[in-house]
């Protein structure tokens, strides 16, 4: 029997069926079909909601994001859109002044893209020093792979000219002194040495970000919240929120464990991929094999076209990566590895192949971003059941940079159609707060491969465009597959969780260029509204 029936909709089940009604019993789907087919399931007091012909899709699932960091962004120094080091400094000074922050208070910022500056140099410690010399100051690039700190912050973190961080770089000037710029694992280690947020702040950040996620139609997110935040704190925050009934988005939690000691520490908890409840599950072990394209730290097989002698940063040797991946794989942990450059992607493929050959358990290991590949790499990914966790919004952000960075190699970039045609399981994420976590924007980017101004005309490498159905699957059924939850979510079928999103226009029928203008009217998680009301329909 059903206690809520939604009817008169254009409901895309993503299971080769379009229906008009969906019957819900508590938090699961009881039936789908026409109103005539489901109305007999209505129990006494059943609620009926007229969808007024609106488009309905399974609840959106972001396969890679940083939910807590997105929430914290609203409280920290926001540097999105600054166009110069001078503007960055002014914004930092205003942040301190407006909030009347006393000396010694940490100033943590992020979101700048130095490629937008007239003088595209990465802001260094001197820039942070200009913000303040009496506050510890650290700001990281929008990608999260490069940052800089002033002298006070470096000192408090215990960083000096003798500090060495495996897989990371502390830039030095001609005299051997630290410039304040930190790359890759060095930045990660620095963030761990900063004062940690407390439990209240962590919970507040999660709730803030979940509210925004619901407005975008998200019902599930696969989130890496342990980047600079201890796993026990993250675990406690989510468990308390669930006990308090404040979870409005289902979480599959990625866990940073970059080296064997960290991996063994986590494994001692006894937790494994999939453990947990419908609202919070343990996800994958998260590794980072390289950096970002914008910061020229993505690991390439050949030099950057605009920076001869630089191939980026490989965080691991092949042997180191093989060792960590195999240990996690054999312990029953899915592994997700950030890899953007073709050098890093190739390292990941080799490591996953060895794990697959040693123990053919389908852990659905994935390469996050997987931005630059060739045909052979894709064939090997398909053969070894390696998934791709892509971020469609990266195309409008990155395509202006790619020709200068890679030259003729750009044709191997963001090859999503080639992945799907080979049967490579591919999920769609935002990497928020790097990009907006609106799945509608992500679907637009996957289908059109253009920015907000519809540039470049016809889309960047249009041969890699996805159909609307393929793009929606990235954020629904394929996303569920990556988290081993295809029997619980991702399509609208009886027995699955009643998670779905109501849109103001049918993205399957409109002109592809208009997809980006689509609005979310209502978001339903477990049969309950987390955003919008029936009155808005």
Instruction: Supply the pLDDT for residue 295.
Output: 86
Instruction: Please report, for residues 92, 314, 419, 467, 525, the alpha-carbon distance to residue 170 in angstroms, rounded to integers and kept in the order given.
Output: 23, 14, 36, 44, 45
Instruction: Supply the pLDDT for residue 408.
Output: 87
Handedness of CA 197, 198, 201, 206 (dihedral sign): positive
Residues linked to residue 62 through DSSP beta bridges, in sequence order = 221
Determine the distance from the C-alpha atom of residue 195 to the mean position of all C-alpha atoms in its chain, rounded to a whole number.
Answer: 24
Backbone torsion region of residue 371, taken as left when φ is above 0, otherwise alpha when ψ lies between -120 and 50, otherwise beta: alpha
| Ramachandran angles phi, psi of 152, nearest 5° | -65, -45
Distance CA 394, CA 303 (A): 22
Instruction: Supply the pLDDT for residue 74.
Output: 84
Residue 3 has, within 13 A of its CA and on its CB side, a CA count of 8
Instruction: Supply the pLDDT for residue 249.
Output: 98
CB 366 within 8 A of CB 388: yes
Instruction: Supply the pLDDT for residue 157.
Output: 95
Beta pairing, strands 77-78 & 21-25 = unpaired
Model confidence pLDDT, tens digit, residues 424-465 = 999 999 999 989 999 999 999 999 999 999 999 999 999 999
Q: What is the 3-state secondary structure (H, E, C) of 124-182?
A: CHHHHHHHCCCCCEEEEECCCCEEEECHHHHHHCCCCCCCCCCCEEEEECCCCCEEEEE
- The helix/strand count (H/E) of the chain reads as 18, 24
CB 9 within 8 A of CB 22: yes
Per-residue pLDDT of the chain (537 residues; tens, 9 = 90+): 999 999 999 999 999 999 999 999 999 999 999 999 999 999 999 999 999 999 999 999 999 999 999 998 888 999 989 999 999 999 999 999 999 999 999 999 998 999 889 889 999 999 999 999 999 999 999 888 899 999 999 999 999 999 999 989 999 999 999 999 999 889 989 998 998 889 999 999 999 999 999 999 999 999 999 988 999 999 999 999 999 999 999 999 999 999 999 999 999 999 999 999 999 999 999 999 999 898 899 999 999 999 999 999 999 999 999 999 999 999 999 999 999 999 999 999 999 999 999 988 989 999 999 999 999 999 999 999 999 999 999 999 999 999 999 998 998 899 999 999 999 999 999 999 989 999 999 999 999 999 999 999 999 999 999 999 999 999 999 999 999 999 999 999 999 999 999 999 999 999 999 999 999 999 999 999 999 988 878
Axis crossing angle, helix 318-330 with helix 342-358, rounded to the nearest 10: 40
Beta pairing, strands 335-339 & 168-172 = unpaired
Instruction: Supply the pLDDT for residue 417.
Output: 98
Distance CA 471, CA 219 (A): 17
């Amino acid at each position: 029997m059903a206690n809520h029936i939604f009817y008169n909709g254009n409901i895309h089940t993503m299971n080769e069926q379009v229906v008009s009604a969906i019957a819900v019993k508590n938090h699961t789907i009881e039936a789908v079909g026409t109103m005539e087919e489901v109305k007999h399931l209505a129990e006494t007091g059943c609620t009926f909601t007229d969808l007024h012909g609106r488009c309905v899709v399974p609840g959106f699932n972001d396969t890679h994001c940083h939910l807590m960091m997105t929430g914290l962004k609203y409280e920290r120094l926001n540097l999105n859109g600054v166009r110069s080091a001078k503007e960055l400094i002014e914004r930092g000074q205003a942040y301190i002044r407006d909030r009347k922050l006393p000396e010694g208070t940490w100033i943590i910022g992020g979101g700048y893209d130095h490629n937008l500056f007239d003088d595209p140099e990465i802001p260094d410690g001197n820039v942070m020093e200009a913000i303040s010399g009496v506050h510890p100051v650290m700001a990281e690039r929008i990608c999260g792979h490069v940052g800089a700190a002033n002298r006070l912050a470096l000192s408090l973190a215990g960083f000096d000219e003798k500090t060495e961080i495996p897989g990371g770089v502390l830039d030095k000037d001609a005299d051997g002194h630290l410039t304040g710029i930190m790359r890759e694992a060095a930045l990660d280690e620095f963030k761990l040495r900063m004062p940690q947020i407390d439990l209240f702040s962590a919970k507040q950040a999660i709730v803030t970000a979940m509210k925004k996620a619901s407005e975008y139609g998200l019902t599930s997110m696969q989130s890496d919240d342990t980047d600079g935040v201890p796993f026990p704190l993250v675990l406690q925050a989510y468990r308390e929120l669930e006990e308090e009934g404040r979870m409005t988005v289902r979480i599959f939690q990625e866990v940073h464990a970059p080296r064997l000691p960290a991996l063994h520490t986590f494994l001692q908890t006894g937790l494994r991929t999939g453990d947990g409840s419908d609202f919070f599950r343990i996800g994958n072990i998260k590794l980072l094999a390289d950096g970002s394209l914008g910061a020229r730290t993505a690991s390439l097989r050949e030099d950057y076209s605009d920076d001869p002698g630089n191939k980026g940063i490989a965080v691991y040797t092949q042997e180191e990566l093989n060792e960590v991946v195999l240990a996690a794989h054999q312990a029953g942990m899915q592994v997700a590895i950030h890899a953007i450059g073709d050098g890093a992607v190739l390292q990941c493929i080799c490591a996953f192949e060895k794990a697959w050959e040693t123990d053919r358990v389908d852990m659905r290991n994935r390469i996050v971003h997987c931005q630059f590949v060739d045909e052979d790499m894709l064939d090997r990914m398909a053969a070894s059941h390696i998934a791709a966790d892509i971020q469609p919004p990266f195309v409008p952000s990155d395509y202006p940079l790619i020709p200068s960075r890679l030259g003729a190699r750009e044709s191997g970039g963001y090859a999503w159609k080639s992945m799907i045609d080979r049967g490579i399981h591919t999920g769609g994420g935002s990497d928020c707060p790097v990009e907006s976590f609106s799945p509608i924007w992500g679907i637009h980017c996957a289908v059109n491969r253009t920015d907000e101004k519809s540039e470049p005309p016809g889309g960047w490498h249009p041969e890699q465009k996805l159909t609307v159905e393929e793009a929606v699957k990235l954020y629904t059924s394929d996303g569920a597959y990556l988290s081993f939850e295809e029997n619980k979510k991702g399509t609208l079928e009886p027995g699955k969780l009643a998670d779905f999103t109501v849109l103001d226009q049918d993205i399957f029928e409109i002109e592809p260029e208009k997809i980006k203008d689509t609005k979310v009217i209502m978001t339903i998680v477990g049969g309950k509204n987390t955003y919008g009301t029936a009155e808005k329909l």
